[in-house]
Structure 1
Amino acid sequence: MKIAMIGGGMVGQTLAAKLLSVGHEVTIGIRAATEAELAKPRNYAATLNDWQAATGGRVTGFAAAAADADLVFNVTSGLVSLAALTAVGAANLAGKVLIDVSNPLDFSAGMPPFLPAALSERTSVGEEIQKAFPEALVVKAFNTISAPVMVEPGLVPGVELLIAGNSAEAKAKVTTLARQAFGWQGVLDLGDISGARGTEHLMPLWLRLYMTGGSPQVALKVIRG
């Protein structure tokens, strides 16, 4: 499968490397794939030059990455996701499954971050993306766990993948990809894309668990009585 990863940080690099290792063709898209950008240090991640050398993956611009892709991941910061996907172009997203991994975490006041009202009070990034790109099949997924757990769920035994989206077919495709490429067993469907509000609101709690426990290998599990 041809997959576009919109965003070249730690999450995008981790997901793309794993997908490449199991046989998918993955291209990372960034705003401007200049030599300076490819060589730039990235928080908690390799330079994109080093990532390309290590994985054999390719890095290009936003629109070029998504143009021929069968499936698209949004791994940009939730605060800039709409702008990034606008640069990708609606035509390059139409009819495609768009997995939204973003969270609208605002770090402008330091740690811990907060959720800005415009993207959390009556909506979510996932919903806003679906509104802005109605022909895309948006599925919210992978946004409640750390990057290593996304691709190796066994790091947190019993963890479940929380997903939400309007298309049952799109959610089925995401579930299949999660199981086949990353080894996920438990997948919990939260219904339509408004379920993204719940998963995005989990992130301040997840970060608090990370901060107090000293490890990103932590996840919340649903237990029904």
Structure 2
Amino acid sequence: MALTLYGHPFSSYTQKVLIALYENATPFEFRLIEPDQTETTAEWLRRWPLRKFPLLVDGDRQVVETSIIIEYLGLSHPGPVELLPQDPLAALPVRFMDRFFDLHVMNAAQYAVDGALGINATDKEDGLKVATEKLARAYGWLESELAGREWATGDSFTMADCAAGPSLFYADWISEIPQDCPNLRAYRSRLMARPSFARAVDEARKYRHCFPLGAPDRD
């Protein structure tokens, strides 16, 4: 039975899993969650009422949370690109950087998005201020951490880079990575050129009008 992924192509966390699937050319069926896709949305909510996507379904098994989904794919549907090292100690830096991009870049950017949408008791000005402050700290740390590296943890593309792509893509729209962070800017450019992420970006391009802060005329 084919894998089924519920999500939306403009969602950063959906993109994170799409990158992993595309890296290994893993066959799957994509089910779009949108207001007019009532049957798909109802099925998604029946399976996962917490209203978070993506959701991966593999036969009788369903998997949620992006990092867990990617680890599951590596265990149950492995491909030529090993996104998480098998050695437990070697896997720790990958897991750490994966969490860093989710928690300290994407979640930081989410403050600005929430403010623009008027949700979570955040207004636009305060949301953008908090996001900018948090992202500045994350950018500064990443600039030093990425020195001398091609990818997030070294020479190999991993789960951490799956997280980094959409995180830095949207974060840069909200608070542009400054010129004094050349390592980070170059890393984002490498991610944008990676075929798996470039495909995810292109598939989401028609939804850019939905970005509540206004998508910049670039990327």
Is TM more than 0.5 here? no
Compare CA radii of gyration and give the structure with the larger one: 2
Higher RCO (CA-CA < 8 Å; seq separation 6+): 2
TM-score (norm 1): 0.37
